[in-house]
């Protein structure tokens, strides 16, 4: 309940829905972590465009930047924009990994990144892309 209230307060102060590709940070309250990183990924209604790909990468980058600014040592990402937003799972995973790797190289970031997947198909995709299949 507290997390939902903080999100509602953030939205009210902001005065508009969160733009795609940005991130907000809230307290985690009763969740088993300190913070929750919130982002809005692109919604795919037809073919994936280069803009959709750039917006998805921006989601991951914005979350990583927010974590780094706050000294958060680790983040766990779900598969942003897959599922209800219809981003193709494999391409989304490729973008996620590429964005995280680029961020770590560019910033010398020591943030531990965990990809938390719910579907066996996503697990297989990440294992293949990470070379652990």
- The answer to whether residue 47 is domain-embedded is yes
Q: How many CA atoms lie within 13 A of 119 on its CB side?
A: 9
- The answer to whether residue 14 is domain-embedded is no
- The answer to whether residue 46 is domain-embedded is yes
CATH code at position 113: 3.40.220.10
Domain count, the chain: 1
- The answer to whether residue 107 is domain-embedded is yes
71: containing domain: 19-130
Close Cβ partners of 63 (under 8 Å, ≥ 6 residues apart): 23, 37, 39, 75, 77
The token pair at 61 is 């980058």
Q: How much is the pTM?
A: 0.90
Tens digits of per-residue pLDDT, 53-110? 999 999 999 999 999 999 999 999 999 999 899 999 999 999 999 999 999 999 988 9
- The answer to whether residue 2 is domain-embedded is no
Tens digits of per-residue pLDDT, 20-68? 999 998 888 888 889 999 999 999 999 999 999 999 999 999 999 999 9
Distances (CA, A) of 43 to 21, 25, 27, 133: 11, 21, 26, 29
- The answer to whether residue 9 is domain-embedded is no
């Amino acid at each position: 309940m507290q997390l939902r209230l903080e999100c509602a307060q953030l939205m009210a102060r902001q005065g508009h829905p969160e733009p795609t590709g940005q991130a907000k940070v809230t307290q985690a309250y009763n969740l088993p972590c300190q913070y929750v990183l919130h982002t809005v990924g692109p919604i795919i209604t037809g073919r994936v465009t280069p803009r959709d790909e750039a917006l998805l990468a921006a989601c991951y980058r914005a979350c990583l930047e927010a974590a780094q600014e706050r000294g958060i040592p680790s983040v766990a990402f779900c598969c942003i924009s897959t599922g209800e937003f219809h981003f193709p799972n494999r391409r989304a995973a490729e973008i996620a990994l590429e964005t995280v790797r680029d961020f770590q190289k560019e910033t010398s970031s020591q943030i531990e990144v965990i990809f938390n997947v719910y579907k066996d198909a996503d697990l297989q995709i990440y294992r293949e892309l990470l070379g652990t299949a």
